[in-house]
Structure 1
């Protein structure tokens, strides 16, 4: 007998990138399995270098009760090497050492000089940053960097029902509790997209198909026949391949494998109601 954990993924902004690069970050029209498994791993307190263990065997589905609207966010960032983020100095000692030398050269003695062992706690920006009228870049001392134009896509005002299926009900109960008492901060695709309200919709007996077909639509749903995507086995009629099956989130060799899924419209006949704190 299998069980299914329901998750409510709602936020003013969401972003489920699959082919994101720094200057252009896309979003899929629905949550990806990789992102949802990552959210679960964060809630459980896993580190990125940890083995995903049973989380790789979760069967995944999602239902678009409120698909939302695509939103394009245009940025111009950079220009010069500053300001530096404290996070960069704390997490990357090699960058910290280079930053210390650059800061000392660009700012002079006015910013002081700290011992090498304290450099990861040193943060500052050079004075007199100004645009160069010929280069069109910001100049800080002898250092320059072209400004970068970036495009980032989001889903605005969207709400999804994500679900994971597994035969180990105790595992799903542990995940359900962790989603409401997370060990780490949670976000819907990007750190700028925190979830709103209750996430866990509880653990229910059945399969993804039966549970999503009997779960009430989310409040303010914009459709009575939402699209749903179900993970399927290779060879299932109408299934298409997508590459968002997480293998490891290790920063140095993050890996995703292909999986298969089908798409269908549902007309839920609710026997499972939501108990949501908005």
Structure 2
């Protein structure tokens, strides 16, 4: 006998990075197994150094009731000049000396180092703006660093987690609704909206997803689902998101197999329900 826990992952923005770098942060088209298992581990209060234990044996599936829209968040960091602010109190004599030299050249020695120390502070690399004549900080006047962050906007997914130990799934359901650590959908800037955990039902991933009605905000009548399968299953493909360890010094993943199929919920499918 096997059981399946349902979870609803919905938010204004989600981001499920697959191959991310600092300057380009991508997102998968759906939640990854590694991210969902990590979220469950966080909800249970596990530390990153804690062994995955039975969480590693969970069979995973996701149904895209509302696939969402990819959006790009465009960032530029650096470049430009910034006025010197009086609230930047002096903590470095080299900063004070740099600003003092400019002020003395403009107003004479009345604004010496001693008086400057009491009133002004400034970043390093002081210069004069040729247009306005104002003293500005050129500390950040470097070439702008351009970064891209991708998100899924207005998406809703049904995640299914299958395991023969119902008590494990029950504890995960309670933890998702009363987490011991903060939860987010891929990134810290993407908190979930509404209820996450649904009920634990008897049956396999395929059976439970077919016997569960679409989410209220679903945009697909026959949504795609990605269901974990055995290696070599006909029509299946690989996904490199099977977590092995979340340890900061030993973080690793391996390959698993999944099949993509259309799910047509049974006309008599049970409505989405949550744990009490």
The normalised TM-score by structure 1 is 0.78
Distance 1:77 1:230 in 2: 40
Contact 1:59 1:165 in 2 (8 A): yes
Could you report, residue by residue, the CA deviation over 1:222-273 in whole angstroms, capped at 9, with x for unpaired residues?
0100000000111100010110000111112210000000000011014321
* Residue 273 (structure 1) aligns with: 271
Could you report, residue by residue, the CA deviation over 1:202-240 in whole angstroms, capped at 9, with x for unpaired residues?
100000000000101001110100000000111100010
Contact 1:19 1:25 in 2 (8 A): yes
Question: Structure 1 residue 255 and structure 2 residue 252: aligned?
Answer: yes
Distance 1:194 1:236 in 2: 35
The correspondence for 1:214, drawn from 211, 214, 218, is 211
* Residue 139 (structure 1) aligns with: 138
Question: Which structure 1 residue ranges, 5 or more long, are not aligned?
Answer: 81-102, 110-124
Give the SS at the match of 1:20: coil
Question: Which structure 2 residue ranges, 5 or more long, are not aligned?
Answer: 81-90, 98-120, 131-136
How many residue pairs get matched? 235
Question: Structure 1 residue 71 and structure 2 residue 51: aligned?
Answer: no
Give the SS at the match of 1:30: coil
Question: Structure 1 residue 9 and structure 2 residue 9: aligned?
Answer: yes
* Residue 117 (structure 1) aligns with: none
Distance 1:32 1:3 in 2: 20
Distance 2:177 2:10 in 1: 14
Q: Taking structure 1 as reference, are residues 227 and 149 closer, same or farther at Cα in structure 2, changes over 3 Å only?
A: same
* Residue 139 of structure 1, CA deviation: 3.3
The correspondence for 1:160, drawn from 150, 157, 161, is 157
* Residue 150 (structure 1) aligns with: 147
Q: Map 1:88-237; keep pairs closer than 5 Å.
A: 104=92, 127=123, 139-140=138-139, 146-237=143-234
Q: Taking structure 1 as reference, are residues 147 and 166 closer, same or farther at Cα in structure 2, changes over 3 Å only?
A: same
Give the SS at the match of 1:186: coil
Contact 2:15 2:27 in 1 (8 A): yes
Contact 1:5 1:201 in 2 (8 A): yes
The normalised TM-score by structure 2 is 0.78
Which consecutive aligned stretches of 4+ in structure 1 deviate over 3 angstroms post-superposition? 103-109, 125-134, 143-147
Q: Which has the larger radius of gyration?
A: 2
* Residue 23 (structure 2) aligns with: 23
* Residue 145 of structure 1, CA deviation: 5.8
Question: Structure 1 residue 45 and structure 2 residue 45: aligned?
Answer: yes
Q: Taking structure 1 as reference, are residues 201 and 145 closer, same or farther at Cα in structure 2, changes over 3 Å only?
A: same
Distance 1:131 1:253 in 2: 47
